[in-house]
Structure 1
């Protein structure tokens, strides 16, 4: 028996927010003071570090559960399964449904229940639940699905990562330009043959690192002090990721028994282009190997950072040949790796 991803789907909003759209924003320091550089320079530096040219925002009438439903429909169709046979629907997100122009997160009922309702699944034994695991949430959902199937508790699982980060950003914070909206979904099921999930690794660093990403006040001190926005200590996250993600990836690869030379693609969370490149460089240095050309597909330049949605969206695009010069062929070994709020890290070695 092999546990494989048999169907994929993604929903990428069509509303494009380009870097130049931020030229008129009032960016402030954390103490509320004005930044010394003009916005054009700030955005130039932002592009050089993150690689982001543009990002996608959901239309006003849509929520995270809507985006997740759209992606799920595609994944179910791609896998050609009867949705009533799903044993689990696992939905990774961070903020629930945040309606446009509101400040309150809505997770009652959970997003998985909402998506199951939208899918019109009648089977009560199809268990729907959410996981809050920061940006690595979709990867962890796949790991949980794998565990359910291995334990004989499931045969087919739907794992979704969906987010509308544009609803929880502080427009006076430069970091707001990183975040975007989107959803990716996958069907994970037991199949005949070999391959599929070969190994996985997860770690939670909370002793000193738990609050590197947090909910905090706007940089604009004139705004309501009771309203919170997504905030991060970018420098600490960068240093943490470079120190710990390559090691977790190595642990995972070593458990799989796969030689690093046999990895064809690495799907890493689209957090920051320079950071992802540095993680990859350190990972290959652990094996004294050179980085193969084209091994790390990237979507952050056009799609931004949609948290839990970045990896399943990127994977769906690549296997459907929608990213130039990026392909995955039958029998290829790939790796998924992510890091995010918590601070959590995880990885999967997978044979396509």
Structure 2
């Protein structure tokens, strides 16, 4: 049984936020004290570390489920199927729908149910539910869809990753420059074509690592501390990712029966350019190899970190030749890998 991605789609928001747009922000330390560097220096250092030059924010009238719907519609059209054929809609996110200029998350009904409604699917046997798994949520949705199809309880699944992180950022926190909005989607189905999902690996580290990413108050003590924003311990996440993600990728690849030399592309969560480069370098070091040129397409420099949306969006862009000097050919072996809040990690070996 071959279970493959037969359609992809993405939605990249229209509002462009460049690094220089942060020059007038009041950035503060975690204790509320003033940072003794001009914003131009802060932004320059940020670019050097993360690789991010700009990011996209959703228009005020659009919610996360809207972005998810736009990407889903494109994936269904690309797969050339009728939406009524879908057995599952699995939607990965972190914060639900947050209307612009509000502080309350809305996930009732689920975002997957909202997307199903927007798609005008009448079939009650099309089951719609959300996945909360941090940034690796889209990968985990793909793994679940694979399991459903392999078990014979589904034939076609839609897996979406969507997020509007711009609505949960503390404008006084330098890390707010990392986050962005977007959505990516795929249709997965059983097919007679060669390839598809070959192996996968997931893990949750929740003992010491539980609060590496968390919801916390603003760095500005004059603001309401009961209003929470996305926060992270960047150094701890960096060290965690370098320690665990390459091992998960290696375990997944070894279980696939394929060789490291078979791998043509690594589509990794667009979290931080330097961190992603270090992860892939360490992964190849486990095989006593250097990183092949062009193995890791990147979109973070223009799109920022849109959490669960980064990998499906990147896949859609590469597939449609929208990233310079990057393409995927029939038969190429790809590794999807991600790390995020939980702390969760996962990897998938896929033959295109």
- Which TM-score applies when normalising by structure 2? 1.00
Provide the rounded CA distance (Å) in 2 between the counterparts of 1:58 and 1:164.
7
Provide the rounded CA distance (Å) in 1 between the counterparts of 2:191 and 2:124.
24
Describe the superposition over 1:254-311 as per-residue Cα deviations: whole angstroms up to 9, x where unpaired. 0001110110000000000000000000000000011110000000000000000000
Provide the rounded CA distance (Å) in 1 between the counterparts of 2:15 and 2:223.
27
**1:133 counterpart SS class:** coil
**2:114 counterpart SS class:** helix
Aligned-pair Cα RMSD in Å = 0.4
**1:201 counterpart SS class:** strand
Provide the rounded CA distance (Å) in 2 between the counterparts of 1:136 and 1:170.
23
Match of 2:206 in 1: 206
Provide the rounded CA distance (Å) in 2 between the counterparts of 1:252 and 1:332.
16
5+ long unaligned stretches in structure 2: none
Match of 1:31 in 2: 31
Match of 1:343 in 2: 343
Match of 1:88 in 2: 88
Provide the rounded CA distance (Å) in 2 between the counterparts of 1:211 and 1:151.
35
Alignment of 1:221 with 2:240, yes or no, is no
Match of 2:188 in 1: 188
Provide the rounded CA distance (Å) in 2 between the counterparts of 1:267 and 1:46.
23
5+ long unaligned stretches in structure 1: none
Provide the rounded CA distance (Å) in 2 between the counterparts of 1:206 and 1:230.
18
Deviation at 1:194, TM superposition (A): 2.5
**2:73 counterpart SS class:** helix
Provide the rounded CA distance (Å) in 2 between the counterparts of 1:107 and 1:133.
15
Deviation at 1:62, TM superposition (A): 0.2
Alignment of 1:128 with 2:136, yes or no, is no
**1:129 counterpart SS class:** strand
Equivalent runs, 1:69-108 vs 2, <5 Å: 69-108=69-108
Deviation at 1:82, TM superposition (A): 1.0
Q: How many residues align?
A: 352
Equivalent runs, 1:266-281 vs 2, <5 Å: 266-281=266-281
Equivalent runs, 1:327-338 vs 2, <5 Å: 327-338=327-338
**2:107 counterpart SS class:** coil
Match of 1:175 in 2: 175
- Which TM-score applies when normalising by structure 1? 1.00
